[in-house]
């Protein structure tokens, strides 16, 4: 089955959170979401319960202040390895028993680690809540980290790293991140490198878990068909044995310096007939007051079928199947970025046209019609993100994780509608770069180098 | 699910709806799966347009599907990829909606549109606030009545499609293997050619061929409209008559020809491409959705490949540690298809070792059948997936479209509940024995160019 749009490309900004109708008055016929209930456990764990009783499902989502930014130098991949191992044996269960018990009830239990968010989620039907909570607690608090499972997962990570070298979009993402963030802890891929993964030891994982996946640096969101008082009592009891780490809660990276000059890095993939392209520059963190204006401006530039980039590069010129712009926004740093791909023969035309579109919008600003459309689009797409309990939990967790106001979700529509033309023009000028930026291209090295001649300094590298 | 590894969440939701099973007890079933709880109203227009309405007022939004019973199975050699090309052209202008205006008008109202094409169907959907519903109907009626197919746009849009093909197939290992598998396994079935089409066909398709295809397959009598979400059904029914009522019915489309002969021996095909790992995909000939055995086959796929506790993951990834991943998938379609296995080996491990381990697991299942606990687990999994599908308007609408398409009546989904529940261990063993016949197997292997030996 194939689809019309850029379904597989570049995760847009982690931060495109939506949800507005939570606090909006329900239409007469319906009871929409009730208010969320918050609690803080003695061990420091923040708990938020969002009842949403439409279907008999319960979604747990724990987010800790931990991720690849905490990977020690030379041991890149540690945070991800810790997440991988969380479900491979916990409490009294072996890896196979954990998998069997959650899958038997048709539920899911997953742990993952990204740049600065370590997430454990569990989704079960309401009738299986006790099973789900028991498993969820055990993998969060009492993972076994057995030597055998560690050795197995280490081998698997090395295999995945090798396999990734034949995935053009993965190569492009990793190369762009490395190029843009430079020597920041934000730069390296979460999976690490062959060398750093080989340097990991079982005790590193146990220690990472003890220090960083701890209640005093975590929040837990529960959404779905639950009664807040009852589920809170269960959670208090279940997580009473979870010990705080006392580790200072801080972001272990500084905001990187702006990109000073245009630079181009080509990753040589000799058999490629299509060039993967990424470009962008340093912008602002997730909790920046310009967030809403940035979202509106980005919608105009590169989000949706009527955006400037899709119109110019895909519709008008037929250069690509997919192009989008977005913002990657962390707690302490952010970036503007564009992702696309084109056939090798059109590489230069595609890059030039993309840069020209960004520059034109940044210089001239949008039309009033474009501004109105973008605001309507953001507000209109918004409720769709609230339907599934797991989506709702994820959005509430994002608001909490980035320290946004508690009414952030409820006020979403108001804030987007309040973005003015002046706001949009200002952020376009401030963050949407077309001159001083980093460009990464993955395809045949000699072809790309020749095509990009004169655009800026070009270095050609092998796949990492 | 397996065939297109690179999928939108929406499509995954569809895949997960492909199989859902009986809840373990009647109380749980009635929670979501019964006709009393999952309410659907059927309507139709004199021109043959079918309509399914599912109200759900949880959020002030709607999902609107235009589901056409045409896919690549309706094509022939020389016009492969035409169905999917329409998926693009349907957004490029109609009599009263100039090019680009379709998306502009929708997005201005806060709505979003997309579409997907497969062997059997082409489905278009829009999602947005309830206030945008009339715009959706007006736009979709206009393109159904009077699609423009402007020559300039045909020319530029085909470049977009060719770029899509380069992205999904020509530069993607799973894409290459998928195409190699189906074109080798099927010689005279319409599943022989890829949904996206052969590159050279994409270059030669003519406007006349498109006009004829549109008239035949985009007629109201070949379409189902599905509306799911927060709307007033009486108002919607009136508006559908207003917008779609005068679009003329056409002669029923011809039945696609499927002359596929019996397969009498294993087929092996290799794709040479730089890679550090060997990936292979094995497909066994399996029945169409019209064969009631597909319920047991879907349960079987779950036993073999449903998560880390499934047989293949346990054997190849966990115990023998020779593979990075090992999955099984079966999804019944309108024509007989394939029961597929996808295995990516660890670096240095050969495809031969992977195949040996895979076939040993299949032999064991054929010999002993599944355990009662495995059966129950598979039923629980399909049931919960069904509940999760209902969490979104699009999930619910897509599920209705799929059952309506495959069974001619969406109510087959309520029957499916009992069908899954009725599957026994003996059924699973019987269908495994029937399907896992080496003479009806096709294997496509990615041979790393730098490491040819590894794939032997």
Query: pLDDT (tens digit, 9 = 90+) per residue, A109-136?
Result: 999 999 999 999 999 999 999 999 999 9
Identify whether B252 is part of a domain.
Answer: no
Q: Could you say which residues from 392 to 451 on chain B have a Cβ atom under 8 Å away from some Cβ of chain A?
A: 392-393
Closest CA relative to residue A367, chosen from A424, A318, A303: A424
Interface touch A3/B116, C-beta < 8 Å: yes
Distance from chain centroid for Cα B222? 18
| Count of domains observed in chain A | 2
Backbone φ, ψ for residue A319 (5° rounding): -85, -20
Note the Cα B204 to chain centre separation in Å. Answer: 27
- Are the CB atoms for A98 and A89 separated by under 8 Å? yes
Res. B8: pLDDT tops 90: no
Q: What local confidence, expressed as pLDDT, does residue B21 receive?
A: 29
Q: Looking at residues A416-422, what average pLDDT do you find?
A: 98
DSSP A384: G
B18 within domain boundaries: no
**Contacts for A160-163 with beta carbons within 8 Å, 24 or more apart?**
A160/A191, A160/B324, A161/A191, A161/A192, A161/A193, A161/A194, A161/A197, A162/A194, A162/B276, A162/B277, A162/B347, A163/B275, A163/B276, A163/B277, A163/B324, A163/B344, A163/B347
Residues B311 and B451 in one domain: yes
Quickly list DSSP for B251-264.
PPPPPPP--PPPP-
Element (H, E) at A46: strand A46-51
Q: What mean pLDDT is reported for chain B?
A: 91
CA dihedral B276, B277, B278, B283 (to 10 degrees): -130
* Structural domain includes residue A395: no
Same domain for B233 and B275, yes or no, is no
Helices B393-407 and B9-16: crossing angle in degrees, nearest 10, is 50
Chain A residues with CB under 8 Å of B308 CB are: 95-96, 99, 103
In a domain, residue A399? The reply is no
> Do B291 and B231 sit in the same domain of this protein?
no
Among A167, A317, A381, select the one facing B110 at the smallest CB separation: A381
Across chain A, mean pLDDT equals 92
Say whether both B238 and B275 belong to one domain.
Answer: no
Is it the case that residue A28 has pLDDT exceeding 80? no
**If contacts are CB pairs under 8 Å, which of residues 17-36 in chain B contact chain A?**
28, 31-32
Q: Nearest-5° angle of CA A116, CA A122, CA A123?
A: 130
- The pLDDT, as a whole number, for residue B18 is 30
* pLDDT value of residue A385: 87
Cβ-based contacts under 8 A for chains A and B: 237
Cα-based distances in Å from A180 to A79, A441, B173, B397, B447: 21, 13, 28, 42, 35
Residue A352 lies in a domain: yes
Is residue A31 predicted with pLDDT exceeding 70? no
Task: Please give the pLDDT value at position A462.
Answer: 96
Same domain, B171 and B311: no
Q: Give dist(CA A101, CA B308) in Å, integer.
A: 11
* Co-location of A204 and A280 in the same domain: no
Read off the tokens for A291: 């967030």
B222 inside 8 A of chain A by CB: no
Shortest Cα–Cα distance, B88 to chain A (Å): 7
The CA dihedral of A346, A348, A351, A356, to the nearest 10 degrees, is: -110
Domain with A344, as residue range(s), is 263-382+406-462
Which residues of chain B are within 8 Å of residue A124 when distances are taken between CB atoms? Answer: 384
| Cβ of residue B373 closer than 8 Å to a chain A Cβ | yes
For residues A297 and A362, membership in a common domain is answered with yes
Residues spanned by the domain of B386:
267-455
User: Touching check for B235 and chain A: CB below 8 Å?
Assistant: no
> What does the DSSP 8-state code read for residue B97?
B
Please give the pLDDT value at position A23. 28
B365 and B450 belong to one structural domain: yes
Crossing angle of helices A421-431 and A291-302, in 10° steps, is: 80
Residue A22 belongs to domain with CATH number: 3.30.830.10
Domain assignment present for residue A398? The answer is no
Has residue B172 been placed in a domain? yes
Least confident of A321-325, B148-152, B381-385: B381-385
Asked if residue B336 lies in contact with residue B120, where contact means CB atoms within 8 angstroms, the answer is: no
In-domain check, residue A142:
yes
Of residues B99 and A54, more confidence is placed in B99
The mean pLDDT of B341-353, rounded to a whole number, is 97
Place of tokens 């420091």: A44
- Rounded CA gap, A242 and A218, in Å? 11
Can you tell me the distance from the alpha carbon of B205 to that of B158, in angstroms, rounded to the nearest whole number?
10
Q: Are residues A228 and A271 in the same domain?
A: no
Say yes or no: A206 and A313 in one domain. Answer: no
- Mean pLDDT for B301-318 is 96
Report which of A421, A116, A65, A420 is spatially closest to residue A285, judged by C-alpha positions.
A116
Find out whether A319 and A346 touch, Cβ atoms under 8 Å: yes
Write down the pLDDT at residue B32: 61
User: Which of B160, B315, B390 is the mutation pick for testing A, counting most A CBs within 10 A?
Assistant: B160
Closest residue on chain A to B308 (Cα): A99
pLDDT band at residue B388 using 50, 70 and 90 as cut-offs: very high
Q: Are residues A202 and A323 in the same domain?
A: no
Structure tokens at B226: 């599905």
What pLDDT shows up at residue B6? Answer: 26
Cα of B107 to nearest chain A Cα, Å: 5
- C-alpha span between B195 and A86 (Å, rounded): 40
* Residue whose C-alpha is closest to residue A86's, from A147, A155, A161, A138: A138
> A365 and A332: one domain?
yes
189-208 in B: which are within 8 Å (CB) of A?
A: 195-196
ipTM: 0.90
Burial class of residue A261 (count of CB atoms within 10 Å of its CB; 0-12, 13-18, 19+): exposed
- A125 neighbourhood in chain B, CB within 8 Å: 28, 384, 387
Residue B66, chain A, CB below 8 Å: the answer is no
Choose among B318, B310, B312: nearest CA to A152.
B318
Burial B36-70 (b: 16+ CB within 10 A, else e): eebebeebebebbbbbbbbbbbbbbbbbbbbbbbb
Task: Please give the share of chain B, as a percent, with pLDDT higher than 70.
Answer: 91
Say whether both A231 and A276 belong to one domain. no
Closest Cβ opposite residue A376 in set B11, B109, B318: B109
Mutate to test the interface with A, among B150, B301, B384, B393 (most CBs of A within 10 A): B384
Q: From the CA of B152, how many Å to the nearest CA of chain A? A: 10
Which of A309-345 are b and which e, b meaning 16 or more Cβ less than 10 Å from the residue's Cβ? bbbbbbbebbbbbbbbbbbbbbbbbbbbbbbbbbbbe
CB A121 within 8 A of CB A335: no
Average pLDDT value for residue range A199-206? 98
Residues 6+ apart with CB under 8 A from B419: B292, B295
A11 near B CB under 8 A? no
**pLDDT tier, B60 (very low <50, low <70, confident <90, very high otherwise):** confident
Overall average pLDDT of the A230-247 stretch: 97
Same domain, residue pair B74 and B213? yes
Task: Quote the CA–CA distance of B177 and B199 in Å, as a whole number.
Answer: 16
In terms of Cα–Cα distance, which of A123, A116, A111, A63 is closest to A85?
Answer: A111
Which residues on chain B are in Cβ contact (under 8 Å) with A106?
377, 380-385
Name, in order, each residue with C-beta under 8 angstroms of B355's C-beta and a sequence gap of 6 or more: B280, B282, B443
For residue A394, being part of any structural domain is answered with: no
Once rounded to an integer, what is the mean pLDDT over residues B88-107?
Answer: 96
B173 close contact with A: CB closer than 8 A: yes
CA pair distance A228, A36, nearest whole angstrom: 8
Instruction: Indicate if A51 and A125 belong to the same structural domain.
Output: yes
**Cα separation, A397 vs A391, whole angstroms:** 10
Question: Residue A234 carries which DSSP code?
Answer: H
* pTM listed for this prediction: 0.91
Measure in Å the smallest separation between the Cα of A72 and chain B Cα atoms: 26
Same domain flag for B385 and B431: yes
Residue B24 confidence (pLDDT):
32
Residues B168 and B44 in one domain: yes
The string of pLDDT tens digits covering residues B13-58 is 223 323 222 233 333 443 466 788 899 999 999 999 999 999 999 8
B399 located within any domain: yes
Q: What is the pLDDT of residues A219-228, one digit of tens each?
A: 999 999 999 9
Cβ burial of A177 (10 Å; 0-12, 13-18, 19+) is buried
- φ, ψ dihedrals at A266, nearest 5°: -105, 130
Lowest mean pLDDT among A422-436, B18-32, B129-143: B18-32
Taking 70 as the threshold, does the pLDDT of residue A8 lie above it?
Answer: no
Q: pLDDT by residue (tens digit) across A339-380?
A: 999 999 999 999 999 999 999 999 999 999 999 999 999 999
Characterize the bridge pairing of strands A57-65 and A117-125: antiparallel
Within a domain: residue A347?
A: yes
* Residue A297 tokens, joined: 């401006």
Q: For residue B173, which phi and psi values (nearest 5 degrees)?
A: -60, -50
Q: Do A387 and B59 touch (CB under 8 A)?
A: yes
pLDDT score at A3: 54
- Closest partner residue to B387 (CB to CB) among A55, A103, A316 is A55
Q: Residue A24 pLDDT > 60, yes or no?
A: no
* B190-222 per-position pLDDT tens digit: 999 999 999 999 999 999 999 999 999 999 999
Residues 116-135 of A with CB under 8 A from B: 123-125, 127
Q: Two tokens at A233?
A: 């009592």
Q: Note whether A47 and A109 are same-domain residues.
A: yes
B298 inside domain: yes
Contact B59 A32 (CB under 8 A): yes
Element (H, E) at A63: strand A57-65
Query: Could you tell me if residue B251 is inside a domain?
Result: no
Residue B7 with chain A: CB contacts under 8 Å: 1, 3, 7-8
Are residue B313 and residue B192 in the same domain, yes or no?
no
Residue B278, pLDDT > 80, answer yes
CA distance linking residue A430 with residue B117, whole number of Å? 41
> Is B232 found in the same domain as B300?
no
Per-residue pLDDT tens digits for A158-178 = 999 999 999 999 999 999 999
Q: How far apart are CA B196 and CA B208, in angstroms?
A: 20
Interface of A with B in 379-438 (CB under 8 A): 379-381, 383-384, 386-389
For chain A, the 3-state helix, strand and coil shares in percent, each to the nearest 5, are 45, 20, 40
- Is the pLDDT at B373 greater than 80? The verdict is yes
* CATH code for the domain of B303: 3.30.830.10
Q: Tell me the C-alpha distance between A144 and A151, whole Å.
A: 13
Question: DSSP class of residue B448?
Answer: E
Distance CA B265, CA A226 (A): 55
- Taking contacts as CB-CB distances below 8 angstroms, the residues of chain B near A309 are none
**Span A207-216, pLDDT tens digits:** 999 999 999 9
Q: In whole angstroms, how large is the CA radius of gyration of chain A?
A: 23
Contacts of B113 in chain A (CB under 8 A): 305
Task: Please name the residue of chain B whose CA is at the shortest distance from the CA of residue A305.
Answer: B103
The bridge status of strand A218-224 relative to strand A46-51 is parallel
Residue A100 belongs to some domain of the structure: yes
Q: pLDDT value at position A1?
A: 55
Yes or no: say if A252 and A187 are a contact pair by the CB < 8 Å rule: no
**Do A34 and A160 belong to one domain?**
yes
Token pair belonging to B421? 């529940």
Compute φ and ψ for A425, nearest 5 degrees.
-65, -40
The number of distinct structural domains making up chain B is 2
Same domain, residue pair B340 and B379: yes
Residue B40, both tokens: 């659907």
Domain match, A229 and A170 both: yes
Q: What are the angstrom distances between the C-alpha of A421 and each of A153, A367, B237?
A: 51, 9, 40
Structure tokens at A48: 């938020």
**B2 is a domain residue:** no
Structure tokens that stand for A1 in this block: 């089955």
Distance CA A81, CA A209 (A): 10
User: Residue B162: its chain A contacts at CB < 8 A?
Assistant: 343
Residues of B with CB below 8 A from A381's CB? 110-112, 127-128
């Amino acid at each position: 089955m194939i689809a019309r749009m850029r379904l597989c490309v570049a995760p847009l900004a982690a931060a495109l959170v939506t949800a507005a109708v939570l606090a909006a008055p329900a239409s007469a016929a319906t009871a929409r979401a009730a208010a969320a209930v918050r609690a803080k456990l003695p061990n420091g764990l923040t708990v938020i319960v969002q009842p949403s009783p439409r279907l008999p499902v319960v979604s747990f989502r724990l987010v800790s202040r931990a991720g690849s930014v905490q990977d020690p130098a030379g041991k890149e991949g540690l945070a991800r390895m810790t997440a991988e191992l969380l479900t491979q044996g916990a409490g009294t269960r072996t890896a196979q028993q954990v998998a069997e018990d959650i899958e038997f009830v048709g539920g899911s239990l997953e742990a993952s680690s990204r740049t600065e968010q370590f997430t454990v989620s569990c989704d079960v039907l309401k009738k299986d809540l006790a099973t789900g909570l028991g498993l969820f607690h055990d993998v969060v608090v009492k993972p076994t980290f057995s030597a055998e499972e560690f050795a197995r997962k280490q081998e698997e990570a090395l295999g995945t790293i090798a396999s990734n070298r034949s995935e053009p979009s993965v190569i492009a993402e990793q190369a762009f991140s490395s190029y843009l963030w430079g020597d920041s802890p934000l730069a390296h891929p979460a999976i690490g490198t062959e060398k750093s993964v080989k340097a990991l030891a079982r005790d590193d994982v146990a220690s990472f878990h003890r220090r960083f996946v701890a209640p005093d640096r975590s929040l837990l969101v529960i959404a779905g068909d639950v009664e807040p008082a009852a589920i809170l009592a269960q959670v208090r009891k279940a997580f009473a044995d979870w010990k705080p780490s006392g580790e200072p809660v801080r972001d272990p990276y500084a905001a990187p310096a702006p990109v000073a000059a245009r630079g181009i890095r080509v990753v040589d993939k000799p058999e490629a007939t299509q060039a993967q392209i990424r470009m962008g520059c340093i912008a602002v963190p997730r909790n920046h007051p310009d967030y809403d204006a940035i979202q509106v401006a980005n919608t105009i530039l590169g989000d949706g079928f009527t955006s400037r980039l899709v119109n110019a590069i895909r519709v008008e010129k037929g250069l690509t199947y997919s192009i989008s712009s977005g913002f990657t926004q962390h707690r302490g740093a952010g970036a503007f970025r564009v992702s696309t791909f084109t056939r090798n023969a059109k590489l230069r035309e595609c890059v030039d046209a993309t840069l020209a579109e960004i520059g034109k919008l940044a210089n001239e600003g949008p039309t009033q019609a474009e501004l109105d459309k973008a605001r309507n689009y953001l507000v209109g797409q918004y409720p769709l993100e609230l339907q599934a309990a797991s989506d709702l939990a994820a959005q509430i967790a994002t608001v909490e994780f980035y320290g946004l106001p508690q009414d952030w979700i409820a006020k979403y529509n108001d804030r987007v509608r309040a973005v003015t033309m002046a706001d949009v023009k200002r952020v376009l000028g401030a963050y949407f770069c077309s001159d001083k930026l980093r460009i990464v291209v993955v395809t045949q090295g000699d072809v790309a180098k020749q095509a990009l001649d004169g655009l800026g300094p070009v270095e050609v590298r092998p796949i990492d | 699910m397996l065939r297109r590894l690179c999928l939108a969440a929406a499509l995954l939701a569809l895949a997960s709806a492909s199989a859902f099973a009986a809840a373990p007890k009647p109380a749980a079933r009635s929670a979501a799966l019964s006709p009393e709880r999952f309410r659907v109203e059927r309507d139709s227009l004199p021109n043959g347009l079918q309509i399914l309405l599912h109200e759900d007022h949880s959020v002030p939004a709607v999902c609107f599907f235009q589901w056409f019973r045409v896919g690549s199975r309706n094509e022939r050699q020389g016009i492969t990829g035409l169905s999917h090309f329409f998926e693009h052209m349907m957004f490029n202008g109609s009599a009263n909606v100039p090019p680009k205006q379709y998306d502009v008008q929708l997005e201005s109202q806060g709505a979003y549109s997309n579409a997907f094409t497969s062997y059997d169907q082409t489905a278009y959907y829009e999602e947005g606030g309830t206030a945008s519903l009339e715009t959706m109907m007006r736009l979709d009626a206009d393109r159904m009545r009077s699609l423009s197919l402007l020559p300039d746009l045909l020319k530029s849009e085909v470049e977009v499609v060719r770029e899509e093909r380069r992205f999904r197939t020509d530069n993607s290992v799973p894409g290459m293997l998928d195409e190699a598998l189906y074109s080798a396994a099927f010689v005279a079935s319409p599943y022989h050619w890829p949904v996206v089409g052969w590159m050279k066909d994409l270059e030669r398709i003519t406007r006349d061929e498109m006009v004829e295809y549109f008239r035949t397959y985009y007629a109201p009598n070949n379409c189902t409209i599905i509306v799911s979400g927060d709307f007033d059904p009486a108002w919607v029914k009136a508006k559908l008559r207003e917008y779609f009522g005068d679009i003329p019915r056409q002669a029923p489309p011809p039945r696609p020809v499927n002359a596929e002969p019996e397969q009498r021996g294993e087929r092996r095909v290799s794709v040479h491409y730089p890679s550090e790992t060997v990936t292979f995909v094995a497909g066994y000939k399996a029945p169409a959705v019209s064969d009631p055995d597909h319920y047991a086959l879907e349960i079987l796929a779950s036993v073999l490949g449903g998560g880390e506790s499934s047989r293949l993951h346990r054997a190849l990834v966990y115990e023998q540690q020779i593979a990075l991943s090992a999955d099984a998938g079966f999804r019944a379609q309108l024509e007989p298809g394939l029961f597929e296995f996808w295995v990516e080996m660890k670096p240095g491990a050969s495809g031969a070792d992977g195949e040996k381990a895979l076939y040993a697991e299949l032999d064991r299942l054929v010999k002993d059948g599944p355990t009662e606990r495995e059966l129950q687990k598979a039923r629980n999994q399909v049931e919960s997936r069904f509940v999760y599908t209902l969490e979104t308007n699009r999930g619910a609408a897509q599920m209705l479209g799929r059952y309506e398409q495959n069974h001619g009546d969406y109510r087959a989904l309520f029957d499916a509940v009992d069908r899954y529940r009725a599957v026994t261990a003996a059924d699973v063993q019987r269908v495994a024995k029937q399907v896992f016949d080496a003479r009806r197997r096709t294997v496509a292997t990615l041979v790393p160019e730098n490491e040819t030996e590894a794939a032997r």
